[in-house]
Structure 1
Amino acid sequence: MPARPFIVHVALQTPSHSGVGDLLSYASERPLAPGTLVRVPLGAREVLGVVWDADEATGELPEGATMRAIAGVLDGVAPLDLPWRRLVAFAARYYQRALGEVALAALPPQLRDLKPEQLARRLRRPATAVGDNSNAIQNIALTAEQESARARIAAGKGPFLLFGSTGSGKTEVYLRCVQEILEADKGDGFPAQALVMVPEINLTPQLEERFVGRFAPRFGPGAVVSLHSGMTNPQRLKSWLAAHCGSARIVLGTRMAVFASLPGLQLIVVDEEHDPSYKQQEGARYSARDLAIWRGREQGAKVLLGSATPSLESWHASRPPTPEDPEGGRYVRLHMPSRIGAGALARVRRVNMNQQPRRTVFSAPLLQAITERVARGEQSMILLNRRGYAPVLHCVDCGWKSDCPHCSAHQVFHKTDRTLRCHHCGFTVRVPHHCPSCGSPDIHPMGRGTEQLEEQLGALLRNVQRPAGEPARIARIDADTTKAKGALEAQLAQVHSGEVDVLVGTQMIAKGHDFRRITLVAAVQPDGALFSSDFRAPERLFALLMQAAGRAGRDAAYMAAQGTQCEMWVQSFHPQHAVFEALRTHDYPAFAAQQLKEREEAAMPPFSYQALVRADARTQEVAQGFLSAATAAAHAAGLPGIDLVTLFPPVPLTIQRVANVERAQMLMESPSRAALQRFLAAWQPVLQTTRSQPEHKGLIRWLVDVDPLSI
């Protein structure tokens, strides 16, 4: 008589807001440990799932019951451990997403497609050679500030906020902390592992080079792996498996790496922790920085956040105790104010553009400073956070503008390929020879982008020569010039080798890069963020400008040999603004104190907690109507926590139409994080019920964004 099958509960990816539960039950011939990867039937498809812990014990199938059976077990991969499953469950609960959605998104895409026999073939491939444990790691001598930070991290539990000036050597502190946890591993359990996160893909190659150079001789070339979306699916699977089985001791990655399976995790480093790129903007809108803090606490790993311009949330959380606030913050703040080699921070020079001729792009003093540096063989960097040639084309006669037909936004003029391109939906057309509205040939670009700056600098510096007599060389780095594989690395190599005299680019050149010959940085149009409706705009602008200023003068010996001082130029119509005043003295603590005071008075984060609900529909009326109806239903039901939550009326997004979809949002705010979470959890079924009502037929989707970074 055949044995009864066992019931196993599986987390798998189901359609968003489908009403399908977090876990589906399947029949198995044998009991399976939680965390086991399985392939199961779902409708007409076969998909990957993760066996999950269930409230009730996994047992035998009741007499007479029928259940779909598991299709296969990926026995070659060890079960995902309890700390990983707890991290996924917390992220799904906190960010209001389905458990299976978060769990499966955290796994490499190729793993979702491989059958057990295909995976077994992959796992039979030879492993990477290990290093020679007798090799000593070649360290750089630490400064007194670096050594103090390292010692405090080694002696304490954290979390730690390493507040270090640009060029103060934060990366070397990271390297030493990683080295200590790896060398302290006695080999009596799972190998010790470290996770090091950076905000953007373009920062991983240079960091990987330093980590491989430092640790590969001792622990082997496979001890350091990367995890980011720029890798191919086979590469991501290989790195993930190496981390999961312990052969990879160090994982470098972007925000997705926070979900890497690291059973031996003992240290998490979040570099440039203030960067908004750590916040996912699609699907489960998680903050990798915040999840790193949670994961470190749950898994007993130390967490080190690093930045020259910390987020105000982290700065507030690391406040030292005072008589008025005897407990202080939850983080330990470590300060490294000095640059390596006693290099000076950039002198900030402000140009009042009200006193410059109309339509001036480069003021005469700034142009003269750039010219002098080219003549001396030094490099300059020009920052403009807008790609393309111009934000819009405009007809002088009838006022026509190059609006996108599918979005409430302009199509950007790209002169290089003579196209008008929408940066929201991607719709592209050729530049018209005449105005499409009135036929006038008098159409002109309005505003400026990096393409135009590159062109104008070429004209202004055409007679300027380098020390050897060659003409000045100008390069541009932005999302348009780095599309091809390897393009960014090649362009950065040109800058590092001195082949470029003036580098023009967007924010992707302003952070993390260790340019050794740049002595001048200029922000030509930074005023746009000064008067934004988003309360975080000043914080983001200050961080961007401080990070950009930090690219200048990083090599103290080079600066001394040149006999020059590094400079940060800011061209503004509001040069006395508080942001530029704080930038002038490189005084982040003063800027943070002023911003936190304003936020406390206005009861804004970090002194309150927020969430957004966004609705996408065929019309704005349907989108806002859905949100209004869901709000009314929440009040009528008296949902838990609603007495401590303020629900603001729905409004259109700043760009309210994208790809012919209308978008509306509503903000929720509460002084209590727990009350907001209770309310959101109780509101989910209300939102689902509201969506099914006939008057909301045109609704396409809705989503919740907890702790939003932009409103």
Structure 2
Amino acid sequence: MPTIFRIAVPVPLPRLFDYTPPRGGDDAPILPGSRVLVPFGRRQLVGCVVSSSPVSDVPAERLRPISRVLDSRPLLDGGDLRLLRWAAEYYHYPLGEVLAAAFPVLLRRARSAEEAVRRYGLTDAGRAQVPDELKRAPRQRQLLAWLQAQAGDVEEELLDSLEWDWRQVLRILCDKGWVAVRDCPLEQPAVVPGVSLHKPGPALNPEQDAAVAAVAAALGGFKAFLLEGVTGSGKTEVYLRLIQQALEQGRQVLALLPEIALTPQLEARFRERFAVPVGLFHSGLTETERLRVWLAAQRGALPILLGTRSAVFTPMPALGLILVDEEHDASFKAQDGFRLHARDVAVMRARLGGVPIVLGSATPSLETVHNARRGRYQRLQLSKRAGEALPPRVRLVDLRNQRLEAGLSPALRGAVAETLAQGEQALLFLNRRGYAPVLICHGCGWVARCRRCDANDVVHAKQQRLRCHHCGADQALPSVCPDCGSDDLRPLGQGTERVEQVLRSFYPGVGLARVDRDSIRHKGELERILDDVHNGKAQLLLGTQMLAKGHHFPNVTLVGVLDVDGGLFSVDFRAGERLAQLIVQVAGRAGRGDKPGTVLLQTHHPEHPLLHSLLREGYAGFARDALAERQAAGLPPFSHQALLRGEATERSAPQVFLQELAEWVRRETPEVFALGPAPAPRERLAGRYRWQLLLQSGNRAALHRLLEKLLRHAETLPAAAKLRWSVDVDPADLY
């Protein structure tokens, strides 16, 4: 039996740590993929066994034993570990922290997977206590009374609803013998063999049939497909047929979506078609729910897993197919911490696991289009809307010299009125929440700015608050100017809250639903609003990009985009691509079924070439031209990038640190260009100054070789201790 175990520990160090077997343990083998509790400095941390060896480079007297083996069997198999090691190497992130991110929160604690849920219940002595007698301990009295009001044992997540720090108080009640702690096993579903259909699907058109046949022929081996279909072309039905084929072979299916808001609709389609368990995995669930789904998938008891970015590493021993819907969506890319791109990780998972993957979109990313052109992905096209539905009519509304009411032109207001009069629904899109993006003093010109960021505060009129949408800082809406004392404070511009107010005055008595992060705060709220739309209770929809993605509104015949100009002028070279995708996606909400649709795009720049390209040739023409521009400029996907970010409370610290790295890169290799350093477009964020250094190369391998050396070199620089810094491989946002 090997005597040394190499363990990944959740610390920001890019290495494994050697440990000896636990003292006095049994002879049961400790296999890779098992969680263990290990001493690390003065702490006890939950790590994961990655490999074993008979020898160690560490002197024997410095080796420490594993404290405890937490699982009776490995939770990760060899394929899971290969994928996680690849992700750690590709994104240059510590393996221990990558592994920790792959486990549900409850498995990052020192409890066995079989008994990972901790419950608290009153003892007989606790039930006999009278809370009002605890007059000198108000928190104890409050918690005891709350526990006595519960029907039975409670989990930690229910205690979190108290919204105050109950843990110390609970420990006191436990010490008094009034509360007992129990680690309880999760109820797990049985393994479901085969597939059972609730009902068969509709007949496929020739393009759908060809797409299903192509992917079905690849089941059992790796192949990547781009399923490019115009909005309403029936991509979901293709997914359903492919899932059926995989289930008939006894395989599991992983389906990824970019946002929680899209899961209810696709979940309903899955459950309507298949009489098998469908698991959800996203941040909107409780930790216990996430653990239950994770373990069911890991046991092979969950045929279909539908999740967001965090689901990409979920173990599935019988995985046979991966689906990535809306593959172009920026939400698949993490913007902090472990900055993975779930779509790219999913492609590698399919490659390592030998299964096909389907990337679906009406507006595929330029990287994916490029891969299809090069033959790395097989392109499957759905060029017609399902049911012979006509594409929407798209036209530009010139805002120049127009009298606007909260951003609404006379043409758009008239079109909305006409649509509502015909008993149809209209959708208005504005990707800016709040009441107004600026509060200005008409007396002296003062503008409300965030004290911690280089950004304006946003007016939220209903709550009478000023909020920073970057750092979350919040303050009361002032009644007078803090500079001159004038009470003539005026909100400029409009967000969804202000537009809603104006729409209610224009169309009194019309059911209006607003969908943004401010209006959708609680579980089930989005589903309720979508139900109102489908049953006709809400005739007018207003929202941010939450409404632009994947939703099916058969009675919506008018879509209005209030402001397309924001994406036409940006420091980010991807801004045009995102705007084109957004316009096409929003336009796709109009005129499904047998009702034709109209899309109105409001702009001050109706002559802009991007808009004309979209209207004349659609997204395919835009993608062709944009890729030609990227190639001429040497930008991704024709080159590869990594962004080094530095931030500190002292303004000069990130500049000095990144300047040293830039000079080192220029000396080290001519294959990688160092661009910068330069301040981030929004230099100050949450009280910290941010600079960045962009590394770019036409050779991906050369870039990654350099990053390995750079990370080691950076740790030796004295300036590194004065700031927080990070590496973002394949950055999606350059700010």
Residue 427 (structure 2) aligns with: 381
CA contact (8 A) 1:420 1:428 kept: yes
Residue 155 (structure 1) aligns with: 217
Partner secondary structure for residue 433 of structure 1: coil
Report how far residue 437 of structure 1 moved.
0.8
Whether 1:89 aligns to 2:85 is yes
**1:546-565, aligned counterparts within 5 Å?**
546-556=584-594, 559=595, 565=596
Whether 1:366 aligns to 2:363 is no
Report how far residue 136 of structure 1 moved.
6.8
Using a 3 Å threshold, how does the CA distance of structure 1 residues 130 and 184 change in structure 2: closer, same or farther? closer
Instruction: List runs of 5+ in structure 1 lacking aligned partners.
Output: 186-191, 320-327, 463-470, 560-564
Residue 683 (structure 1) aligns with: 710
Using a 3 Å threshold, how does the CA distance of structure 1 residues 84 and 629 change in structure 2: closer, same or farther? same
Residue 455 (structure 2) aligns with: 409
Report how far residue 381 of structure 1 moved.
0.5
Using a 3 Å threshold, how does the CA distance of structure 1 residues 472 and 64 change in structure 2: closer, same or farther? closer
Partner secondary structure for residue 324 of structure 2: strand
CA offsets per residue over residues 590-637 of structure 1, 9 Å max, x none? 11111011111000011111110000111221111110012223445x
Q: In structure 1, how many angstroms separate the alpha carbons of the residues matched to 2:57 and 2:603?
A: 72
Aligned to 1:172, which of 237, 245, 263? 237
CA contact (8 A) 1:351 1:570 kept: yes
Residue 140 (structure 2) aligns with: none
CA RMSD of aligned residues (A): 2.1
Report how far residue 9 of structure 1 moved.
1.3
Q: In structure 1, how many angstroms separate the alpha carbons of the residues matched to 2:672 and 2:334?
A: 24
Aligned to 1:491, which of 511, 529, 545? 529
Moved more, 62-71 or 401-410: 62-71
Q: In structure 2, how many angstroms separate the alpha carbons of the residues matched to 1:131 and 1:332?
A: 31
Report how far residue 345 of structure 1 moved.
1.1
Partner secondary structure for residue 649 of structure 1: strand
Residue 472 (structure 1) aligns with: 510
CA offsets per residue over residues 68-110 of structure 1, 9 Å max, x none? 3222223344341111111111111111100111011011001
CA offsets per residue over residues 93-138 of structure 1, 9 Å max, x none? 1111001110110110011125237349644635358589676752
Partner secondary structure for residue 710 of structure 2: helix
Partner secondary structure for residue 101 of structure 1: helix
**1:471-550, aligned counterparts within 5 Å?**
471-550=509-588
Residue 27 (structure 1) aligns with: 21
Residue 189 (structure 1) aligns with: none
Residue 34 (structure 2) aligns with: 36
Whether 1:444 aligns to 2:493 is no
Residue 605 (structure 2) aligns with: 574
Residue 109 (structure 2) aligns with: 113
Moved more, 71-80 or 5-14: 71-80
TM-score scaled to structure 2, two decimals?
A: 0.87
Report how far residue 183 of structure 1 moved.
0.3
Report how far residue 25 of structure 1 moved.
2.6
Q: In structure 1, how many angstroms separate the alpha carbons of the residues matched to 2:274 and 2:729?
A: 38
CA contact (8 A) 1:529 1:541 kept: yes
Residue 8 (structure 1) aligns with: 5
Residue 725 (structure 2) aligns with: 702
CA offsets per residue over residues 379-408 of structure 1, 9 Å max, x none? 101000000000110011211111011111
Instruction: List runs of 5+ in structure 2 lacking aligned partners.
Output: 118-182
CA contact (8 A) 2:441 2:447 kept: yes
Whether 1:74 aligns to 2:70 is yes
**1:123-162, aligned counterparts within 5 Å?**
123=185, 125=187, 127=189, 130=192, 138-156=200-218, 158-162=223-227
Q: In structure 2, how many angstroms separate the alpha carbons of the residues matched to 1:36 and 1:253?
A: 24
CA contact (8 A) 1:27 1:67 kept: no
Using a 3 Å threshold, how does the CA distance of structure 1 residues 443 and 10 change in structure 2: closer, same or farther? same
CA contact (8 A) 1:164 1:336 kept: yes
CA contact (8 A) 2:228 2:379 kept: yes
Partner secondary structure for residue 65 of structure 1: helix
Q: In structure 2, how many angstroms separate the alpha carbons of the residues matched to 1:329 and 1:448?
A: 45
Partner secondary structure for residue 318 of structure 1: helix
Q: In structure 1, how many angstroms separate the alpha carbons of the residues matched to 2:370 and 2:194?
A: 44
Residue 125 (structure 2) aligns with: none
Q: In structure 2, how many angstroms separate the alpha carbons of the residues matched to 1:270 and 1:610?
A: 23
CA offsets per residue over residues 15-50 of structure 1, 9 Å max, x none? x3xx56333434334441111122222233332211
Q: In structure 2, how many angstroms separate the alpha carbons of the residues matched to 1:86 and 1:211?
A: 30
CA offsets per residue over residues 526-567 of structure 1, 9 Å max, x none? 1011011111001000101100011111222xx2xxxxx310
Report how far residue 503 of structure 1 moved.
0.7
**1:289-368, aligned counterparts within 5 Å?**
289-319=343-373, 328-357=374-403, 361-368=407-414
CA contact (8 A) 1:76 1:123 kept: no
Using a 3 Å threshold, how does the CA distance of structure 1 residues 66 and 355 change in structure 2: closer, same or farther? closer
Partner secondary structure for residue 627 of structure 2: helix
Name the % identity.
Answer: 43
Whether 1:237 aligns to 2:291 is yes
Q: In structure 2, how many angstroms separate the alpha carbons of the residues matched to 1:408 and 1:26?
A: 52
CA offsets per residue over residues 411-452 of structure 1, 9 Å max, x none? 100011110001111111111111011101111011110111
Report how far residue 359 of structure 1 moved.
6.6
TM-score scaled to structure 1, two decimals?
A: 0.89
Report how far residue 160 of structure 1 moved.
0.4
Q: In structure 2, how many angstroms separate the alpha carbons of the residues matched to 1:430 and 1:134?
A: 56
Q: In structure 1, how many angstroms separate the alpha carbons of the residues matched to 2:651 and 2:529?
A: 44
Q: In structure 2, how many angstroms separate the alpha carbons of the residues matched to 1:356 and 1:26?
A: 76
Partner secondary structure for residue 187 of structure 2: coil
Whether 1:194 aligns to 2:232 is no
Partner secondary structure for residue 684 of structure 2: strand
CA contact (8 A) 2:38 2:46 kept: yes
Residue 324 (structure 1) aligns with: none
Q: In structure 1, how many angstroms separate the alpha carbons of the residues matched to 2:490 and 2:227?
A: 48
Q: In structure 2, how many angstroms separate the alpha carbons of the residues matched to 1:62 and 1:347?
A: 70
Q: In structure 2, how many angstroms separate the alpha carbons of the residues matched to 1:649 and 1:248?
A: 49
Report how far residue 352 of structure 1 moved.
0.7
Residue 269 (structure 2) aligns with: 210
Q: In structure 2, how many angstroms separate the alpha carbons of the residues matched to 1:651 and 1:454?
A: 40
